[in-house]
Structure 1
Amino acid sequence: MHGRSFVAVSVAGGLALVYAVLVPVACVAEDVATAEQPATPTGAATPSPSPAVPSPSPANAAPPVTPAPSQTEAAAPAADPVIAGIRSKLADAALRKGADPADLAALDTFYAGRSGPPVWVTPMGFSARAQATIDEIGKADDWGLSASAFQLPPAGILPKTVDDQAVAEIKLQLAVLKYARFARGGRVNPSSLSNILDLDPPIRDPKIVLAEISVSPDPGSYLQSLHPKHEQFQNLRRALLKARGGDGTSKPASERDIQKIVINMERWRWMPENLGKIYVQDNVPEYMLYVVKDGKVIHSDKIVVGLLRYATPVFSADMQSIVFNPEWTVPPTIVRENLMPNLRGGGWFGGSSILSEHGLKVKYNGRIVDAGSVNWSSVNMANIAFVQAPGPTNVLGKLKFVYPNKHMVYMHDTIKRGLFKPTMRAEGHNCIRMEKPSQLAQILLAEDKGWDTKKVQDLLDKGYDSAVNLDHPIPVHTTYFTAVADADGKVTSFPDVYALDGKLAPIVAGKAVASATTDDDADTPTGSVPAARSKPPKENVAGQIQGLFGD
């Protein structure tokens, strides 16, 4: 019994000792935990301290209810103080002024979802990555851009407050996004310069730019990678550095020559990133056609483009078919300007005689009708088409290359062989005529279908408005490059036939954007083919059509 009593007393004493030691420790821990809690915001209820030992709950008691997070807490994750400052500052009208709306929207989204540290700033200023980014944007002139276009914060800035850090981060991000947009051709909308420029620059989504550059180990190289990778763009850049004396071996060129290089670098920014494994390029100022396969020219040919008044549009589309010995449907502009005035007014050649003069038939709702049976003063022209049958006098010659587009432009043969003798070859309407169309057909059909020359020649001899659909559409790029460069930076220039260089020059120089104009509004450039400014008189209709269509 004594033994049991001793043991009980010892155990009790031990528990008392343990309790005496643990209670102060628990109190100290509770005091430390309480000291680490943030101060209660003004106006908030002070929570009651929890009891050290929870009271036992009845066996059937419901579990405590945890309050759901508010919608505000769910929308924006807990953020670094600078990130919170950025979210607030992005609403500042002064910071948003002049910025691209898409860039601002991307920044709002990016920082609303970011809880980590800022991308560029630290309490000690800009990070090394930020310094590299600022340095690269400062070299924008080497890439045909203008460094003065970017409002960069000072590289050595030492922000004193969280707000200062937030503003510095936003300014650098806006400069990054503007640089990315300009590198991809977003300096100006091409169609705002001329109605014939139907191009869609491959601008990178600013949300993607922010996501990519924020994790890039080398943001300077990332910015460089946004510029076009086309060989000709890189050649022109070498020419630009050489023209400015940046290669260390050349004397600086004239400002006019430098400007021409920069203008054509800008046009490359408007081109599709992927031109195609095999593609056709029609370069209007050069009056030349090229077939390029795997980056190498495998065929070239002379072309004739439209007069300034009927300028050949600049765009890209996929060739879908090649038509052998095609029927010709008169384009709307020729109907409107050359045929209808004569048909409705009688004119020198007695109304419908102009049609028989050129072998034109009238189709009403797709059916051939007698031109003399049509009341040309009241007929609905939407139901009328004028066509010319295949044959030796057909203005399209023996081949037509179709790449559907809103301009209703295509490439074709011609019976006017003398058009290819002059150096400058602009005549008639906007479709492109070529000197050696049969060679182009042979090359493209050999690539697409594996056809030999004999099969192509058989269709040339026997086909009658025979369309051959391509199994794999081939891109056709109608371009307007007034300067090209070789791998050594040697530049070759071509006439500014449609007076478009002068419209782009102020843009690349950082001046105001010009408004879009029609071709009739353009000034006739040096070396261009002047265009008539008014509709041809009725008494010259036959001569006009003869000049536009055939020999």
Structure 2
Amino acid sequence: MALGIVAGRLKSGLWAGLAFSGFLTGASPVFAQTEGLSPFVRALAEAVVDDPILSAHYRANGYEAHWTDADDADRRQALLTALSHAGDHGLPVARYDVAELVAAYHAAQTEGDRGRLEARMTRALLTYAHDLQSGALVPADVDAGIKREVVVVDPALNLQAFLTAADPVAWLSDLPPQSPEYAQLVKAKITLERLSSTNGWGAPVEAKALEPGQSGALVVALRDRLAAMGYLGLTATQDYDAAITRAVQAFQLDHGLEADGVADELTMAEINVAPAERLESVIVALERQRWMDMPRGKRHIWVNIPDFTAKIIDDGKVTFQTRSVVGKDVPDQRTPEFSDEMEYMVVNPSWSVPRSITVKEYLPMMQRNPGAAGHLQLIDRNGRAVSRANIDFAAYNARNFPYAMRQAPSDGNALGLVKFMFPNQYNIYLHDTPSKSLFAKEVRAFSHGCIRLADPFDFAHALLSRQSLAAEEEFDTTLKTGRETSVPFENHIPVHLVYFTAFPTAKGQMNYRRDVYGRDGRIFDALVEAGVAPVGVQG
């Protein structure tokens, strides 16, 4: 039968004038006395039969409609409006295709159509809620180095909470992370989409490098590019003057480069990155923020791998920051991403060489020369140091080598003079290092996976300051003993090893870093495969 248009008009935007068929005025489904289930209930039950959560929910509530009755208009409008803005969050909008849902309303002719549409709406709600709360992807499915445990809300609880919410619009608005960083990333995404669909920041600068004192057309191109990006005010100069130098320095600070004001080859490459490429980084950062939508701790440690920094955050403010060295960009040495709690530090640590390093690096060296790596002790299964004199290293391989290796505490110890422990299955921790020269480099991916700190003593003092008024003196006294000593933290400190190539500062200024491990590229490709479709042009 044909159904008249009577109810459910939405008030604004994409939904202005949208109306729903007359069957929406009907009462809740009832069980027919002689014919079994009503067409609506039968269609709904069949549509959810393979979904245990929805099937249990609708059975429990007697197959009551949530979306398709006349008095469901506010709830329906709230969801459809939210779905229409899913793209603002960098979500795969095809998963909850709002245009298709609206078309299905227009096309509905029977109670069976209404039952199937009811199931589709509920699925769209739960999928959208999951993706906003926990991310559209499963981290470990994208990259094995992402060990993050994502909090996932029970869909049944989400459904019940939405249906009982006094204000469905407010409930939907509270789904994504409520942090200022997330809101700033959404704003940056919208801005970059606009830039990517127009002329962007203008033409790239056709120069490998420029420096103060130069002049001419290439400097004008650099000037215009910096002005378009917001780093330079109005100026007609053709010279690489003090104003352009300051603008280049500001750009370099925002992109993790040495802020010397010289547009060298690396700086120029970053200046010429198109808005569409920055947009990809922001979309990935939004997904990563959803993976980390959890309490991070009033005091916590934040190690951003591609930023090569370790920070102490107190009540949302950076109270200490130092440069870091992270794992090499090779398999098995890239620093993983996860969160844990720092429990203690070890002053004057010995270094227990990881098994992988022992058998992959040192065993081949000792097979060629038994005296190689003489600064390391061989340790048997009983924990005793043994002499190399009577060991035939050629008789062993990576699987059956029966010894461990250890370096005693010393200034030359690979861990330096202090390490910071958050015991984990990946054998990752923060530590000092005797290789100080590496901190002068812009890209600092040199370790076997652990995080080396440029200022480990100051880091220790800052952490201990919460539990002792004489933290610095006590640390220095322990250090001078030369003995390996564990110093517990009275309160464990959350530590987060993260990977953000796009992030806002406290003042809202976007910063960008290079994708040192290629992880963001893999995440973005997976998001596109899932249905994310950003606008992008070169320039």
User: Normalized against structure 1, the TM-score is what?
Assistant: 0.70
Q: Secondary structure at the match of 1:264?
A: helix
Deviations along 1:218-273, one digit per CA (max 9) or x if unpaired, are 32332231212233222211212232349xxx979832222221111111111251
Larger Rg computed on CA atoms: 1
Residue 86 (structure 1) aligns with? 44
For the structure 1 residues 275 and 118, does the alpha-carbon distance in structure 2 shift closer, same or farther, using more than 3 Å as the test? Answer: same
Q: Quick check: 1:314 aligned with 2:263?
A: no
One-letter amino acid of the structure 2 residue matched with residue 174 of structure 1: R
Partner of 1:187: 136
Per-residue deviation, 1:203? 2.1
Kept in 2, the 8 Å contact 1:355–1:361? The answer is: no
Counterpart code for 1:442? H
1:305 match: 326
CA pair 368-471 structure 1, distance change in 2 beyond 3 A: same
2-side partners of 1:291 and 1:378: how far apart? 45
**CA distance, structure 2, for counterparts of residue 263 and residue 433 of structure 1:** 26
Shift of 1:216: 1.4
Whether the 8 Å contact between 2:44 and 2:63 is mirrored in structure 1 is no
Which runs of structure 2 are paired with 1:255-266 in the superposition (5 Å)? 255-266=276-287
Where do residues 288-367 of structure 1 align in structure 2 (5 Å cutoff)? Answer: 288-309=309-330, 310-343=333-366, 345=367, 347=368, 350-351=369-370, 353-356=371-374, 358-367=375-384
Aligned to 2:425: 406
Q: Which amino acid aligns with 2:514?
A: P
Amino acid in structure 2 at the alignment position of 1:417: K
**Given residue 106 of structure 1, which amino acid in structure 2 is its aligned partner?**
I
The offset of 1:493, in angstroms, is 0.8
Partner of 2:222: none
Distance 2:178 2:154 in 1: 18
In the TM superposition, what whole-angstrom CA distance separates every residue of 1:172-196 from its partner, at most 9, and x where no partner exists? 1111111112113342221122221
| 1:90 partner letter | V
Contact 1:184 1:201 (8 Å CA) reproduced: no
Alignment of 1:106-505 (within 5 A): 106-115=53-62, 117-122=64-69, 124=70, 127-152=73-98, 153-154=101-102, 157=106, 159-245=108-194, 254-309=275-330, 310-343=333-366, 345=367, 347=368, 350-351=369-370, 353-356=371-374, 358-376=375-393, 377-378=395-396, 383-448=402-467, 452-486=471-505, 489-505=508-524
Residues 370 and 469 from structure 1, CA distance in 2 versus in 1: closer, same or farther, beyond 3 angstroms? Answer: same
SS of equivalent residue, structure 2 residue 45:
helix
Shift of 1:202: 1.7
User: Post-superposition shift, 1:512?
Assistant: 8.1
1: distance between equivalents of 2:160 and 2:38? 18
Q: Classify the secondary structure of the residue corresponding to 2:492.
A: strand
Name structure 2 gaps, 5 residues minimum.
1-30, 202-273, 533-539
Shift of 1:480: 0.8
Q: 1:229 to 1:363 in 2, by over 3 A?
A: farther
1:127 counterpart SS class: helix
1:13 corresponds in structure 2 to none
Residues in 1 aligned to 2:160 and 2:42: alpha-carbon distance in whole angstroms: 19
Percent identity over the alignment?
Answer: 27
Secondary structure at the counterpart of residue 241 of structure 1: helix
Change (3 A) 1:272 1:90: closer
Which shows bigger deviation, 298-307 or 210-219?
Answer: 210-219
Structure 1 position 463, deviation (Å): 4.9
Number of residue equivalences: 420
1:505/1:80 Cα in 2 relative to 1: closer, same or farther (>3 Å)? same
Separation in structure 1 between the aligned mates of residue 33 and residue 404 of structure 2, nearest angstrom: 83
Contact 2:92–2:136 under 8 Å retained in 1: no
1:439-458, Cα deviation, whole Å (9 max, x unpaired): 11112122245653211221
Contact preservation (8 Å) 1:83, 1:111: no
Equivalent-residue separation in structure 1 for 2:173 and 2:32 (angstroms): 48
Shift of 1:363: 3.8
Hey, what's the Cα distance between the residues in 2 that align with 1:378 and 1:39? 78
Give distance in 1, aligned partners of 2:323 and 2:84.
42
Residue segments in structure 1 that go unaligned for 5+ positions in a row? 1-37, 43-77, 97-103, 514-551
Q: CA RMSD in A?
A: 2.8
Q: Does structure 1 retain, via aligned residues, the 8 Å contact 2:132–2:175?
A: yes
SS of equivalent residue, structure 2 residue 76: helix
CA distance in 2, matches of 1:126, 1:422: 60
Give yes or no for contact 1:290–1:297 (8 Å, CA) kept in 2.
yes
Q: Is the 8 A contact 1:446 1:452 kept in 2?
A: yes
* CA spacing shift, 1:486–1:235, aligned 2, 3 Å: farther
Give 1:280's aligned amino acid: I
Shift of 1:381: 5.2
Note the C-alpha offset of 1:378: 4.7
Q: SS where residue 165 of structure 1 aligns?
A: helix
SS at 2:462 equivalent: helix
Q: What SS class does the counterpart of residue 355 from structure 1 fall into? A: coil
Per-residue CA deviations over 1:374-395 (Å, capped at 9, x if unaligned) read: 3432598575221111112111
SS of 1:394 mapped into structure 2:
coil
Using structure 2 for the length normalisation, give the TM-score. 0.72
Distance 1:410 1:230, change over 3 A: same
- Write the distance in 1 (CA, Å) between the matches of 2:43 and 2:68: 12
